[in-house]
């Protein structure tokens, strides 16, 4: 089987990546767009485009009937969801299947299992993947909740069962604030994803956040593309990602890879995905969740492996992917990616709106920039504040850091505030250069 036409149910740089991948595969690409995105230049690079509704995501990029109607109108064989929006929505997968359209990603059953973080923990633990002590919140009754928490042990984290990006997450140091924090976490989770269910998990003090990029075909073969370090984050939002994770002992790297492969097989996964872990100060590794989609930071894994993971996703979904073999995955050098956002660090990282004008953009040896940025582009509050992903590759980490720092200096736009200066400060920081920073690194840096 192969696809003739793919509808891209997303926007921005990931939509452009899918357009590029489809063109290289000889597949017709159709870009779905909202009224707010009607003038985006990347739409002209698709074979055709179709408007799916007003600017508000709920009426366009999250509008399942509109997307299905568009797919049927233009005769799409498949839909690529990108990341965000409907990319991890099992109902959308089922609706696609009901209309004879292939969803480029995992099955609805697998997505539902992985999306339920408590169930995913149970599934991977059953095959020997280490998880932190934890349990689904059975009741918000104070007595029951306190008993559950004390059985796990403080400090702990309250997490949304179906959440992501830090939404619905609260750290609990003692039982005193447990009930109030649980209520706040549940309300935030319900507002973000429509479900306020929570689970408890033992908190790891000052961990590193590591993850492994995987790819699984329809024949049960799974390969991994090395580890990534995503510890440079603020309030659970990643700012910088790199591959491979710096300073890991060989045995830790091996344990990460083996755990990721086991977890992927345990949930019956097919497509590109990511398995996430925390690394404690004592060297122990624990599974925290699996993301059933391509991630923003997939670019660094592409750079060190020489693969196009979007093309791989499409070929797996179409059933024409050659059998995957770990021996074919060759990793080379070091890559670091930073997310340039239209946010103002001086004002608590508030999103910055306005019309962007380019002054200078970076390029050169070892530099990749994934973006749809152009002069005259309007940044609005309707969508994510991501302006560009800037990726630097080097033969080693020092070279990658130097290239990234120079590229950041050359990234200059006016019209909106950006995180450029903060990212440059991070990349030039001695602690970051030494490698192995933890998730509290940015918090400490901002306090200096």
Question: Catalytic site residues?
Answer: 293
Q: How far is CA 247 from CA 208, 321, 322, 334, 434, in A?
A: 12, 34, 34, 12, 9
CA distance 416 to 146: 46
Three-state secondary structure call for residue 291: strand
- The C-alpha atoms of residue 300 and residue 368 are separated, in whole angstroms, by 10
Neighbours of 235 (CB within 10 A): 10
Q: Which residues, including other chains, have CB under 8 Å from residue 176's CB and lie 6 or more apart?
A: none
φ, ψ for residue 6, nearest 5 deg: -120, 130
Strands annotated E in 261-307? 271-279, 285-291
Distance in angstroms (rounded) separating the CA atoms of residues 334 and 92: 37
CA 319, 320, 322: angle at the middle one, nearest 5? 115
Cα–Cα distance, 278 to 365 (Å, whole number): 33
φ, ψ of residue 379 to 5 degrees: the values are -95, 120
Alpha-carbon torsion angle 212, 317, 389, 439, nearest 10? -30
């Amino acid at each position: 089987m192969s696809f003739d036409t793919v509808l891209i149910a997303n926007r921005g740089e990931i939509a452009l990546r899918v357009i590029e991948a489809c063109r290289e595969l000889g597949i017709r690409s159709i870009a779905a767009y909202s009224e707010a995105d009607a003038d985006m230049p990347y739409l002209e690079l698709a074979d055709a485009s179709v408007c799916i509704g007003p600017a508000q995501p709920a009426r366009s990029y999250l509008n399942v009937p509109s997307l299905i109607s568009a797919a049927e109108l233009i005769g799409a064989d498949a839909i690529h969801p990108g990341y965000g929006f409907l990319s991890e929505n099992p109902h959308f997968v089922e609706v696609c299947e009901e209309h004879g359209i292939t969803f480029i990603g995992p099955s609805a059953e697998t997505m539902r299992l992985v999306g339920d973080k408590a169930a995913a923990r149970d599934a991977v633990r059953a095959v020997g993947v280490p998880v932190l002590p934890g349990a689904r919140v059975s009741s918000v009754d104070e007595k029951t909740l306190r008993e559950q928490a004390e059985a796990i042990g403080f400090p702990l984290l309250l997490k949304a069962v179906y959440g992501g990006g830090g939404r619905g997450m609260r750290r609990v140091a003692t039982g005193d604030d447990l009930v109030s924090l649980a209520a706040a976490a549940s309300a935030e989770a319900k507002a973000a994803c429509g479900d306020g269910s929570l689970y408890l998990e033992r908190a790891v003090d000052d961990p590193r956040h590591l993850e492994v990029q995987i790819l699984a075909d329809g024949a049960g073969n799974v390969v991994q593309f090395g580890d990534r370090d995503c510890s440079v984050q603020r309030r659970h939002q990643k700012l910088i990602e790199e591959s491979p994770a710096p300073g890991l002992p060989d045995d830790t790297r091996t344990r990460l890879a083996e755990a990721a492969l086991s977890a992927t097989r345990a949930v019956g996964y097919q497509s590109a995905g990511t398995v996430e872990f925390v690394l404690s100060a004592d060297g122990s590794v624990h599974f925290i969740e699996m993301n059933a989609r391509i991630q923003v930071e997939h670019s660094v894994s592409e750079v060190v492996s020489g693969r196009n993971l979007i093309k791989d996703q499409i070929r797996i979904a179409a059933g024409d992917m050659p059998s995957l073999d770990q021996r074919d995955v060759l990793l080379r050098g070091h890559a670091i990616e930073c997310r340039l956002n239209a946010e103002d660090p001086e004002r608590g990282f508030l999103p910055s709106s306005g019309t962007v004008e380019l002054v200078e953009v970076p390029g050169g040896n070892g530099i990749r920039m994934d973006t749809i940025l152009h002069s005259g582009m309007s940044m609005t509050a309707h969508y994510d504040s991501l302006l560009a992903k800037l990726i630097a590759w080097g033969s080693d980490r020092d070279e990658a850091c130097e290239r990234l720092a120079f590229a950041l200096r050359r990234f200059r736009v006016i019209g909106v505030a950006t995180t450029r200066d903060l990212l440059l400060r991070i990349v030039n920081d001695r602690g970051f250069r030494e490698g192995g920073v933890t998730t509290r690194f940015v918090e400490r840096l901002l306090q200096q």
